[in-house]
Amino acid sequence: MTTWMSTHLLSFLVFSPGAAGLALLAFPERQARLAKLLGLLVAIALFGVSLRALSLTPDASGWLFLEHRPWFSVAGLPVDYRLGLDGLNLWLALLTALLVPVTMLATWSSLAKREGTFAGLLLLLETGVLGALLSQDMLFFYLFWEGMLIPTTFMIWIWGGEDRRYAGTKYFLYLASGSLLWLVGLLYLAGQAGSFSPELMAQAAAGLSLHAQGWLFLAFVLAFAIKFPIFPVHTWMPDAYSQAPVAAVPVGMLVKLGGYGFLRFVIPILPAAAARHSHVLAVLAVVAILFGSLVALVQRDMKKLVAYSSLAHMGFVLLGLASLSVIGVQGALLQLVNLGVSTTALFLMIGMLERRAGTTMIADFGGVASRMPVLTGFWLLAAMASIGLPLTNGFVGEFLILNGTFTSGFAWGRVAACLATLGVLLGAAYLLWMTKRVFWGAENADPDGGTAKLAQDLTARELAALLPLAALILWIGVHPRTFLAPSDRPVAQLLSDAQAPAPAAPALGTAAGSAPLSEVHE
């Protein structure tokens, strides 16, 4: 049976949240509760619809679903309306659809004002993120990529802390600077290729001089690096995360795109440059891991600690991508999903503590476990996942990345893997130390401190928000095949394509090749 939905599933998923979000923004303030409720229902319904993607089977060229028609064309440079779902973005898209209702539930009663606006902006952001995840045309992608800055900036501005104006403006300017310069590179390449389709761009790029490819690579990487964020261009992140705890989750939804965009566009379009400069990326990744972990170790604010820990985790993702081996890239892709699950859970729980206690300073807490045992249980699980304990999702991701890096064909592979392993140790140190100080030990006796104000454990809504995340942490940890299987073929395909036009590059992924990953886990 052919219905409109069965031929336009992706268009529906991408644009209906935005339409609903715009409608919610027009609700007057006194009907905010109604708007919030409607927003939640829409978000849950959309997640339900998005699950249809699981029943799809890939066609000959790997697409689970593809919508493609010409959009507009000026002076011979066509821009296409092209949305595609394949193994690379399947789980990221589903996770995005899940995180929206989860965020709404978890922040249900922690927003002091304009709850309807928050729901509206979150749905608009869902359009932006899903659109960017599914776009298969570079300019179309760019529209979503840049457009999603608008709702997130407003989230930081409206629900942020004292420095929210500074944090929001800095965030917008920082991220826009990267993508605007990237636009110039994109226009140059599109002019060479006569199209914005990644395939034609890759062909055009292969014909350019190595010098020109290097500049393009710089423009591409800068845009993704800022969103990632990678070490020297990360300074927007601690501000944005610590100023806006409710915005931390939405912003987290969008940083995944840094890694995804790198995998989807940089490696296929500029494979030779990626191979030539991968050692730079690896150095940056290792620096991010160690720098992020060390800085996290000395934080006194839980929000900042988790923010820096996510910097370290993004370093792992970059390391996996830079290894250009099947195992490493698979691990990076899985680690993006993991971050969406476990870091989100940590941020949500910090938000729950903040709503009750009014503070997020570690020193204000102590002995939380006796007052909020259920929250503590969830916290332990998420923290273990973040550290990378076996049987949780973090272990699988980090193991694959380190494995892929160690066995990659690059000379730096082993050194980088060894140094990055130090990051795992440090990760355990800062998270466990913080957990000990906040949740265990003597109760903070200060009546104005945080612990004294924790009267109530998790509400049903908060529980509903955390349960799916906890289930995912265990599911990915115990049976990662579910999540790795769809991307097996696309990743291998992508890397072997990338290898073909650059015979001069070092042998990529020799150790991994196309060896099935199943032996690692099963």
Partner 1 sequence: MMAKDFAALWPLVFPAVGACFLPLASLDREHDTAKWIRGVLYLVTLLALGGSFFYLADLWHVGGQPSFEALRMDRLAQFSGIFITVAAAITVLQAWDHFHQEGWVKAETLSLLLFSVTGMMLFTATSNLLLMFLGLELLSLPLYALVGTVRTRPEASEGAMKYFLTGAVASSCFLMGTVLLYGLTGTLDLSRAMASSAGSDPLFLAGAALLLLGFLFKTSAVPFHQWTPDAYQASPHPIAGFMSVATKGAAFVALLRAFPGALSLGAAGPKAQQAFAVLAVLTLVLGNLTALVQTDAKRMLAYSSISHAGYLLLGFVAGTPAAYTGILYYLAIYLAMNLGAFGLFTAYGLVGEDTSYDALRGLGWKRPLLGLYAAIFMLSLAGIPPFGGFFGKYLIFKELVGTGHTSLAVLGVLASLVSLAYYLRFLVALFLQAPTEALERRRAEQPAAPAALASASLFVAAFIVVMGGLAQGLLIPGFAQRAIEEGLKLVR
Does the protein bind partner 1 through residue 164 (CB under 8 A)?
Answer: yes
Q: For residue 254, which of 379, 378, 343, 361 has the smallest C-alpha distance?
A: 343
Q: Give the number of other CB atoms < 10 A from CB of residue 517.
A: 23
Candidates 47, 118, 157, 395; binder of partner 1 (CB under 8 A) is 157
C-alpha 129 chain-centroid distance: 10
In the complex, what is the shortest distance from the CB of residue 20 to partner 1, in angstroms, rounded to a whole number?
Answer: 15
- Part in contact with partner 1 (CB under 8 A); list of ranges 170-178, 222-230, 240-248, 370-378: 170-178
Does the protein bind partner 1 through residue 180 (CB under 8 A)?
Answer: yes
Does the protein bind partner 1 through residue 187 (CB under 8 A)?
Answer: yes
In the complex, what is the shortest distance from the CB of residue 32 to partner 1, in angstroms, rounded to a whole number?
Answer: 11
Q: For residue 17, which of 37, 45, 52 has the smallest C-alpha distance?
A: 45
Pick between residue 66 and residue 187 the one whose CB is nearest to partner 1: 187
Does the protein bind partner 1 through residue 146 (CB under 8 A)?
Answer: yes
Q: For residue 427, which of 323, 335, 520 has the smallest C-alpha distance?
A: 335
- Part in contact with partner 1 (CB under 8 A); list of ranges 146-154, 199-207, 332-340, 451-459: 146-154
How would you label 14-53 residue by residue, b for 16+ Cβ within 10 Å and e otherwise? bebbbebbeebbebeeeebeebbebbbebbbebbeebeeb
Pick between residue 149 and residue 431 the one whose CB is nearest to partner 1: 149
Candidates 121, 125, 149, 205; binder of partner 1 (CB under 8 A) is 149
The three-state secondary structure class of 81 is strand
Phi and psi, residue 77, nearest 5°: -115, 95
Compute the chain's Rg from CA coordinates. Answer: 22
In the complex, what is the shortest distance from the CB of residue 277 to partner 1, in angstroms, rounded to a whole number?
Answer: 21
Pick between residue 135 and residue 403 the one whose CB is nearest to partner 1: 135
Does the protein bind partner 1 through residue 184 (CB under 8 A)?
Answer: yes
Pick between residue 25 and residue 44 the one whose CB is nearest to partner 1: 25
Candidates 110, 177, 359, 514; binder of partner 1 (CB under 8 A) is 177
Footprint of partner 1 on residues 387-416 (CB under 8 A)? none
CB 133 within 8 A of CB 257: yes
- Part in contact with partner 1 (CB under 8 A); list of ranges 100-108, 151-159, 374-382, 465-473: 151-159
Does the protein bind partner 1 through residue 172 (CB under 8 A)?
Answer: yes
Phi and psi, residue 461, nearest 5°: -65, -40
Q: For residue 354, which of 308, 304, 311, 309 has the smallest C-alpha distance?
A: 304
Candidates 7, 31, 169, 482; binder of partner 1 (CB under 8 A) is 169
Does the protein bind partner 1 through residue 165 (CB under 8 A)?
Answer: yes
Please state, in angstroms and rounded to a whole number, the distance separating the CA atoms of residues 481 and 359.
40
Candidates 190, 295, 339, 426; binder of partner 1 (CB under 8 A) is 190
In the complex, what is the shortest distance from the CB of residue 254 to partner 1, in angstroms, rounded to a whole number?
Answer: 15
Does the protein bind partner 1 through residue 73 (CB under 8 A)?
Answer: yes
Footprint of partner 1 on residues 11-30 (CB under 8 A)? 25-26, 28-29
Pick between residue 32 and residue 372 the one whose CB is nearest to partner 1: 32
Binding track, positions 88-127, relative to partner 1; x by CB under 8 A: ----------------------------------------
Long-range contacts, 46-53 (Cβ 8 Å, 24+): 46/13, 46/16, 46/17, 46/97, 46/100, 46/126, 47/97, 47/98, 47/100, 47/101, 49/9, 49/12, 49/13, 50/13, 50/93, 50/94, 50/97, 51/94, 52/9, 53/9, 53/85, 53/90, 53/93, 53/94
Instruction: Tell me the site size for partner 1, rule CB under 8 A.
Output: 36
Beta strands in 316-431 (DSSP E): none
How is 177-233 classified by DSSP, letter by letter? HHHHHHHHHHHHHHHHHTS--HHHHHHHHHTS-HHHHHHHHHHHHHHHHHHTT-GGG
Does the protein bind partner 1 through residue 183 (CB under 8 A)?
Answer: yes
**Binding interface with partner 1 (CB under 8 A):** 25-26, 28-29, 71-75, 77, 139, 142-143, 146-147, 149-150, 153-154, 157-158, 164-165, 169, 172-173, 176-177, 180-181, 183-184, 187-188, 190-191
